Amino acid sequence: MSDKAKYLLLALMLMFFLSACMRSNKPIQFYRLNASAAMLDTIRLPESTSQAVIGLGPIRIPDYLNRPQMVMAISDNEYQVSEEYRWAERLDQNISLALTKFLSSQLGSNRIMRYPWSPRQVVDYQVSIDIIEFHIDAQGQSLLTAQWLIKRKDQPDKSRRFDCQVSASTTDYEIMVSAQSACLTKLGQDIAVTIKQLMKEQAGN
């Protein structure tokens, strides 16, 4: 190998090394979801409710979301995991905290218990949630599909499917998280409205 070729190879190796170092030194950005009535098209003041205890959980997420890295679909069957953009806490815990705060504000109650609670704790309404999908798709849409269930003592269960799609981005992660938070807020609203209806039905009996 000639000296010129050696120098060229060495330069290429050095460029590759410096590029890898720059990527590894890029700071990681962390995000949290939130659910807020300010994201809803129509904001209604919470109505006074009974002193019913509401249990939230368990909340289950699919395995592809059970990681600190944020996930985005790049096709129908392919997903991209970001090492530079991550959740600040476990995603299922973040969802639980956000929904607990939201339901408390919408139902006018501080008697919201997060799963798991003490076996001695009496829960009047238990809300369990199965997240089926929750990510940004290849077209920059935030997708949330969930199946949720309300259990009541001596009453039939109430089960519903929830679907949400909100315009987001394929490059701006702050916009992505805001769109996912909007979907989570809509899920919380769906649950809150249903619980209010069940409380009114029970009060009328």
Query: Is 54 within a domain?
Result: yes
pTM check: above 0.95:
no
State the Cα angle at 90 between 71 and 148, rounded to 5°: 85
Domain that holds residue 42: 28-204
Residue 2's pLDDT is 59
Query: Is 4 within a domain?
Result: no
Query: Is 11 within a domain?
Result: no
Local structure of 175: helix, strand or coil: helix
Query: Is 88 within a domain?
Result: yes
Of 120, 124, 112, 80, the residue nearest 188 (C-alpha) = 112
Walk along the chain (205 residues) and give the pLDDT tens digit of each residue. 555 655 565 666 666 655 555 555 679 999 999 998 776 654 454 454 558 899 999 999 999 999 999 999 999 899 999 999 999 999 999 999 999 999 999 998 889 999 999 999 999 999 999 999 999 999 999 999 999 999 998 788 999 999 999 999 999 999 999 999 999 999 999 999 999 999 888 776 6
State the total domains in the chain: 1
Query: Is 7 within a domain?
Result: no
Query: Is 87 within a domain?
Result: yes
Query: Is 3 within a domain?
Result: no
Could you give the CA distance from residue 1 to residue 9 in angstroms, rounded to a whole number? Answer: 10
Residue 96's pLDDT is 97
Report the CATH number at residue 48. Answer: 3.40.50.10610
Of 87, 90, 83, the residue nearest 25 (C-alpha) = 83
Query: Is 133 within a domain?
Result: yes
